[in-house]
Structure 1
Amino acid sequence: MRTISLAVTAVASALLLTACGGSGSSSSSDGKNGSACSFDGVAVQVGPASTAPSAGDTGEVPVSLTNQSKPCTLDGFAGATLEGGGTKVALSTQKGAKAQKLKLAKGDAASFTVTYVRGKAGDKLSLAATKLVITLPGSSDSASYKWSYGPVQGKGSASDSEASVSAFTQAGD
């Protein structure tokens, strides 16, 4: 009898979580601010970039999000990982950057910037990045974008890159 009751409870819990989460995304809601923004509700544009022209130069890649759905919230920093040649490097947040909680109504936009130092092609300290993977705060889903801005310099190794993520800023009014 106890086994049946536990099974029924587990199934009911799974159904409740499925009903709350939408299309498989993991998001939270506080009732008045909307749920965490997720990729199934926003349009993303990576670039155009201010590309670092040669090794040692700094470049910036803006990432813009426009809410296409119900109100949602960005509360924290975007997660960003650069990948290339079997190596994955999680980017740190910019020194001194402070995250702010942004509420995005349908049509509102926000952006953040990936700042990087271009590495020397073929150098053991450079990551030959080919992909940028982004996660949004409060959501477990991710999206991948082509990285075409050259190798990224490492601090002491290719897995410790000189690249960082800024805080979100709201676009428009």
Structure 2
Amino acid sequence: MKRAATIGCVLGAAALVATACSPGDSTVSKTPDQRTPAAAASASAQPPAPAGPLPGPAPVDDPCDIDLAAPEIARAVSELPRDPRSNQGWNPEPLAGNYNECAQLSAVIVKANTNSENPNTRAVLFHQGKFIPTGVPDTYGFNGLDSTQTTGDTVALKYSGGVPGLDSIVKFRWNGSGVELIGNTAR
């Protein structure tokens, strides 16, 4: 009888261990919530925190920002006479520039639409975002802008031949009714 009682105890203990450690059980699910019912309900009812910026109006593009993808640039480039050296049109993607609708004078640099290793380049000038088709001095050969000398009414076009310190700068200014050449310097 002792033996039967011992086997019964071992079997009973094994049953308790098997029941207490079954895969579906965890101590979390068996631990009662220590918060008050109201606190437990409010904690579970809170929405998750937003993951990104708060909703609101979409940011508005500033027309006075430089915009080298403005449609006015492509329209202006399509009106240019062909490149005199290659007899090709001009590529509407600017190499450089400061085009914006608010500047008295802004410019973009474009290149001839050719496969030449050194295509011609030229500046296209704008007054308050509108192409200036006539009355502009020769702007061929420039390949950049000097941002330190360019202002809201002046563009400093740069020719860089690849030798540091030997850039040529030519400045054009909007004088209230047209574009005038105001300076030609070497840097």
TM over 0.5: no
TM-score by length of 1: 0.25
Which structure has the larger Rg?
2
Comparing both structures, which one devotes a greater share of its residues to strand?
1
Bigger RCO of structures 1 and 2 (CA < 8 A, at least 6 apart): 1
TM-score by length of 2: 0.24
